[in-house]
Structure 1
Amino acid sequence: MITIIVATDFSDVAENAVAYAAAAAKHSKARLILFNSYALPHHASNTILPASSVQKLIDDNNNRLQERALDIAKTYGIEVGFETRFSFVGDELSDVLKKHEADLLILGMGAKTLEQDLIGNTTTAAIKQLKFPVIAVPIGAKFEGLKKILFACDVLRGVPVQILKRIKELAISLDAEVEVFHVNNAIDELQSGERGLSEKDAIGNGLAGVSYYYKNVKSNAVIKEIAKEIKAFDADLLIMIPNKYGFWASLVHRSKTRVMASGLEIPLFSIPL
């Protein structure tokens, strides 16, 4: 059985992601695990509390998470577990994913802010640091089936077979159509070069049996073009492969995947290599 982990701190953004995850779990007959990483409230951490008071705060949080899990199980008719840790969420995610042998992590994504764009947040950090599939769900996004999937990729770098396999499986399970979208300022090379043609053939072979389209655009503004194509294609989901930069390059490069995640109105599915 597929296992989906969804993190919540009970905020509106996180609870929207929980609802999305629950609906997706119902569709795929998956098991859902609610994860909450609990830290003491600021006012409590600045005071000296007896151990009994701290334990009560932890117990109250556990009870709240358990009640939420029971409610979701009843509402959606799915198997729901829960796990809470007394730590910061980013420190615990990797361990929780391993413990439950998870297949997918779903996290909420707040509205785009300058601070997020510059330093990121828990969700963009997970995309960057975890070598694990992550769906970032913006506030307001709902899972009502996914009929149009936009796969934005760098064809000139090549698209791994395992990535195409995962996209094909997803499209078939959802009865969705896929658009493979490529943006590059050297698109003429892609159209006429042997390597470009071989990569297009590889994509065709990898997505055989799926209704898919291929589109490329010549531009230096990759993020802007992807955002435009989301609206033009009326996509329900954006898929991207986060590229790993070396240390020095990371000082001047911001991951396009992370930037897109913090500025979308549809979920972003980040599939690492």
Structure 2
Amino acid sequence: MKTYLVPIDFSAAAEHAAEFAAALSHQTEVEHIILLNAYYVSMYETILPNPDMVLVREEEVEQNAAERQRNLEKYAEKLQKKVRPGVKITTHLNRTHLLRAVVENAISKNADLVILGSKGNSSNSDAKIGSHVVKIAKACPVPVIVVPPVYGIEDINRVVVACDFNKVTEAAPLASLIKVLNRRKFNPLVVNIDNKAGAAEGEAEKIAEGTALYDTLKPYHPKYYFINHPDIINGILHFANQHDAQIVIALPHKYSFLQSLLHTSISQQLLESSAVPVLLLK
């Protein structure tokens, strides 16, 4: 993964996600981090007054854009001191909705990964990241990492891979996972919800044997687990907490027991409840 796209709305949560991206650069082969700020001004705001009879002038829009660009560049200078030597940081200002800006820039700039905060500053009308998280995770064509503001940034050693052993019947959906694990010293903990109480220790690996999942991950020496929990999301997060994992990785929902992961209610529960970053693969 050579390029990270990091939406920045200047909220504490967004800057925390950027700090995570900087820390992650020391463990990965990223070469370029793009700080993206998106803001939208409807053309009607410049030709029609609002209910308070205030008309937004084009000069004010341009002044706002210039100030945002200055803030972006100032923050980029600060972040540059925290990334791995050789990693380039650039900024980009988009006068459009955040969702559209992220999707379009992920494509046009060949981003491999989008990293964003799970919450924004709701008191600030410009801080849209929190309310757009689920939509971005659903629409973005590349993997997305959502970083909770409570997460204490540290090196990633243990990763929880959430998937359904039986549904991963081919290696293709694992390609993006291998991009994450390849040449990293990560310890994968592969988990599945066990709907049969009392699964014997070691049974998870036996069931996984012979599957595409097992063969593909074998070089990384993963450990396999069943999670016996009535609530899938809480089960995964409780497991991650118990094993002191630094990130939860979910395979594309077609290959996961999280069939409705990208349905708004489930996604919101996962992203809002997690105390560790969640990586949604594509």
TM-score, scaled relative to structure 1:
0.81
Cα deviation digits, residues 146-200 of structure 1 (max 9, x gap): 11000111223226413434434433433011111000425799x9xxxx94666
Please say if residues 170 and 212 of structure 2, whose CA atoms lie closer than 8 Å, have aligned partners that are also in contact. no
Aligned CA distance change for structure 1 residues 166 and 199 (closer, same or farther; 3 Å): farther
1:54 to 46, 57, 61: 61
Query: What is the CA distance between 1:68 and its match in structure 2?
Result: 1.5
Distance of 2:147 and 2:273 partners within structure 1: 11
Aligned CA distance change for structure 1 residues 74 and 229 (closer, same or farther; 3 Å): closer
2:280 to 259, 270, 273: 270
Aligned to 1:100: 109
**Whose helix fraction is larger, Structure 1's or Structure 2's?**
1
Please say if residues 148 and 234 of structure 1, whose CA atoms lie closer than 8 Å, have aligned partners that are also in contact. yes
Aligned to 1:124: 134
SS in 2 for 1:128: helix
Distance of 1:181 and 1:121 partners within structure 2: 29
Q: How does 1:74-223 map to 2 (within 5 A)?
A: 74-76=81-83, 77=85, 78-110=87-119, 121-158=131-168, 160-185=170-195, 197=207, 201-223=211-233
Give the number of equivalent residue pairs: 255
Query: What is the CA distance between 1:95 and its match in structure 2?
Result: 0.8
Deviates more, 1:216-225 or 1:166-175: 166-175
Please say if residues 104 and 133 of structure 1, whose CA atoms lie closer than 8 Å, have aligned partners that are also in contact. yes
Deviates more, 1:16-25 or 1:163-172: 163-172
Query: What is the CA distance between 1:140 and its match in structure 2?
Result: 3.3
Cα deviation digits, residues 198-229 of structure 1 (max 9, x gap): 66643221112212101113443211211221
**Does 1:240 find its partner at 2:222?**
no
Aligned CA distance change for structure 1 residues 103 and 219 (closer, same or farther; 3 Å): same
Query: What is the CA distance between 1:49 and its match in structure 2?
Result: 3.0
Aligned to 1:17: 17
SS in 1 for 2:21: helix
Deviates more, 1:152-161 or 1:85-94: 152-161
Query: What is the CA distance between 1:35 and its match in structure 2?
Result: 0.4
TM-score, scaled relative to structure 2:
0.78
Distance of 1:36 and 1:214 partners within structure 2: 40
Aligned CA distance change for structure 1 residues 145 and 75 (closer, same or farther; 3 Å): closer
Distance of 2:89 and 2:216 partners within structure 1: 34
Distance of 1:12 and 1:36 partners within structure 2: 14
Cα deviation digits, residues 106-132 of structure 1 (max 9, x gap): 010129x9xxxxxx8311111122232
**Does 1:38 find its partner at 2:15?**
no
Unaligned runs of 5+ in 2: 123-129
Aligned to 1:73: 80
SS in 1 for 2:25: helix
Q: Give the partner amino acid of 1:224.
A: N
Distance of 2:7 and 2:251 partners within structure 1: 22
| Identical amino acids, percent of aligned pairs | 22
Aligned CA distance change for structure 1 residues 172 and 54 (closer, same or farther; 3 Å): closer
- CA-atom RMSD, angstroms? 3.2
Distance of 1:186 and 1:134 partners within structure 2: 32
Aligned CA distance change for structure 1 residues 255 and 169 (closer, same or farther; 3 Å): same
Q: Give the partner amino acid of 2:74.
A: E
Distance of 2:240 and 2:107 partners within structure 1: 33
Aligned CA distance change for structure 1 residues 14 and 185 (closer, same or farther; 3 Å): same
Q: Give the partner amino acid of 1:205.
A: D
